[in-house]
Amino acid sequence: MTADITLLCIGGVDSSAAAGLDADRQAAESVGVRPHLVATAHTEQDERAVHALGAREPEEWLAEARAALPRCEGVKIGLLPGPEHLLAAIELLSELGDRHWVFDPVIESSSGFRFLNTRALGILREELLPMGPILTPNLDEAALLAGVEVDALVSPAQRVAAARNLLSGGAESVVVKGGHGGEDPLQDLVARPGHEPYWLERPRIEGSRRGTGCRFATVLAAHMAQGADVTQAAQSAGAWVATYVATGGGV
C-alpha cells in the first residue's frame, strides 16, 4: 500500500460486511490507498433486509471527519441516513478546498429499504449537488435524482439526458453505472460539462454481489486521489468490479 495517499471514506457500517465501510476498506487498500473510515450509521442487515439503521448523531461523525480531512487527498461519501446527515456533509464539504469528492448516492438498499425520504432528496438535489460531487448513481438512482421514471433510462440518449440534468444541478462529473441495465456489453456513462458523453464498455459478468456500487465509487475516488482523471478512474473502477464479480469476491 502507498502510505502517502489517504482517502476519507464516509458511510455506513454493514453488519454483514458485504457493503458500506468494509467494502470501502477492501477496495481502497486493493489499489494502494489508505482508507480513513468514518461511520454515519451502524446498520443491521443481511441479504434479505435492513433490520435496523442505527444512525449516529450527525455532529459525532462530522467531528471525526473534520479531524481527518487535513490528512486526506480525497473524499468518498456513501450512506447519509437522513436530512441532518446531508446538512452535516455540506458543512464538511465547505472545508474541502480543491480536493475531489465522490458521492455514491445511497438512496435505497438492495433489499428495498429506503434510506432517504422526500425532504432528504430535496436537500440532496438543491444543496448537496451544487457542492460539485463526482456522482456515481446506478440507473435507478440516476432516474430518481433526475426526476424521471427508471423505465425512461433504457436508451443511451435517455441516460445522457439524465446525466446532463445532474450536471446542470451542479455535479462536477456524473458516472452513470450500467450494471442494472440489460445490455451486453455493459455500458457505464461518463458525463462532464463541456465534453461529449463517453461510454465505457465491458462484457457483462454473470452473477451479482452486494456492495459493488460502494466498491466502484471507492476505487474511482482512490484513483482520482492518485491523480487519474474521472474517465480513467471510471474505467479502472469498472474493470475492478468486473474482476470482483467474476472471482466471487476476490480482487
Q: For cell 450527525, name the residue.
A: 58
Look at residue 230 and tell me whether its pLDDT is greater than 60.
yes
Helix (H, G, I), strand (E, B) or coil at 186: strand
Q: What is the pLDDT of residue 250?
A: 61
Q: What is the pLDDT of residue 251?
A: 64
Give the distance from CA 194 to its chain's centroid. Answer: 23
Q: Which three cell numbers stand for residue 42?
A: 451502524
Give the distance from CA 40 to its chain's centroid. Answer: 15
**pTM passes above 0.85:** yes
Q: What is the pLDDT of residue 1?
A: 43
Quote the crossing angle between the two packed helices 58-68 and 83-93, to the nearest 10°.
20
Q: What is the mean pLDDT of residues 227-246?
A: 95
173-183: pLDDT as tens digits: 999 998 777 78
Q: What is the pLDDT of residue 49?
A: 87
Look at residue 2 and tell me whether its pLDDT is greater than 60.
no
Compute the distance between CA of residue 140 and CA of residue 146 in angstroms, rounded to an integer: 10
Q: What domains lie within the chain, and their CATH numbers?
A: 6-246 (3.40.1190.20)
